[in-house]
A = this chain, B = another copy of it.
Amino acid sequence: MISNENKFVLNSSATNNTFIEINLKNIIKNYKIISKELNSTTKCSAVVKANAYGLGLIEVSNALAKAGCNDFWVSNLEEAVMLRSNRLKENIYILHGVKNTEFCEVALKYNLIPVLNDYYQFDLWKNYARAQNKQLNCVLNVDTGLGRLGFELCDIDKLLHSNQLHYNYLMSHLACSDDQDHHLNKKQLKEVQAIAKQYPNIKITFANSSGIFLGEQYHFNMVRTGGALYGVNPIPNQPNLMKTAVNLKAAIIQKRIVTKNNQNIGYSGTYNAKQGDKLLTLEYGYYDGYSRSLSNKFHCYANGYYLPIIGLVSMDLLIVDASKLPDNIFNTIEFVELLGENIKVEEIAKQANTDEREIFSNLANRCKRVYT
């Protein structure tokens, strides 16, 4: 109970800190849900770039390998070497390709497969292969509509004539697959189908998470799933088939009963609390990845109650109005949920006017990661 003398309640969470719980079992379940969409001729690879969207490259990759995944996509050489040091047998593809001769040496030494995105990268890898007197593996990236990286269709023919290179896959990437009706999907599909017809001996990887759910014709030889593994809904505006993989529990650093009306809360005077309001100060802020744009407009969750975020989110603290909580819960609670089963990543993304992947990317800077 709250004594009258001590307006600041003893904080029972004091030995703990905010942590992110990464549910590896659910990531594995998501891998299996996606795999079930595929027939036996299509492999399911995992995109673990950007430190597995911020969730931990090694831990996530180890879990997926146990689930049967044999092909992993990372952004750059650093991630690839880190992953290879942990996973000896799997195929590791480097999305941003090769950059210079030293890069090529490391890529060969660690048996990494670069994606070749332009003539510079193509020449570099081909010349390195020739100097080593070896045929080297690679993936050829062809841009069919994303306009970001990759060759154009008309380039393919001359690229495929190189004997120095073995093309594990020809890849392309969908631009608008999370909008099932977008005209670009079919346009890109047509171009990839034309490639498949013209070069029947080369394997093709095309669909990302959302692309998988556009139908079997998008699957080809291997799909590349990323966001859906981590719980992002691959078919926005339909019920999410994916399991929640990330739970963010913020530690309460202070409990407070407001003693007077018009108590300002936070910077810039954006919120006034009133006498008797029960407030929680959480050890988490925008430095830790909680978007400041959620100030005064979103909520967190505790024991069946949604509690509003009040005032401007600070750098490493944020304040919650917990007046709804019955005293016994208020007095004993140690954590609140900022993201998880009850605060879906798509809700946060919607409120912050961004994409679920940006929410994940920003989250895991400074708080403990716990894997289950």
Contacts and interface: CB of A to CB of B under 8 A. Distances in A.
A283 interface: yes
Interface stretch (A29-37, A145-153, A162-170, A330-338): A145-153
A264 B175 contact: yes
A175 B268 contact: yes
A267 B8 contact: no
A269 B175 contact: yes
A8 B315 contact: no
Given A287-B361, A292-B354, A355-B292, A8 B49 contact: no
Contacts of A190: none
A170 B357 CA distance: 43
A281 interface: yes
A147 B319 contact: yes
**Copies assembled:** 2
Chain A contact residues (Cβ within 8 angstroms of B): what range? 35 or more
17 contacts: A6-B119, A7-B152, A14-B120, A14-B124, A17-B76, A49-B316, A51-B287, A96-B283, A149-B254, A175-B268, A175-B269, A178-B268, A182-B268, A287-B361, A292-B358, A293-B293, A365-B365
Given A51-B366, A147-B264, A362-B362, 19 more contacts: A10-B119, A11-B120, A14-B100, A14-B120, A50-B315, A51-B287, A53-B287, A75-B316, A146-B267, A147-B265, A148-B281, A149-B253, A175-B267, A179-B268, A286-B362, A287-B361, A292-B354, A293-B354, A315-B361
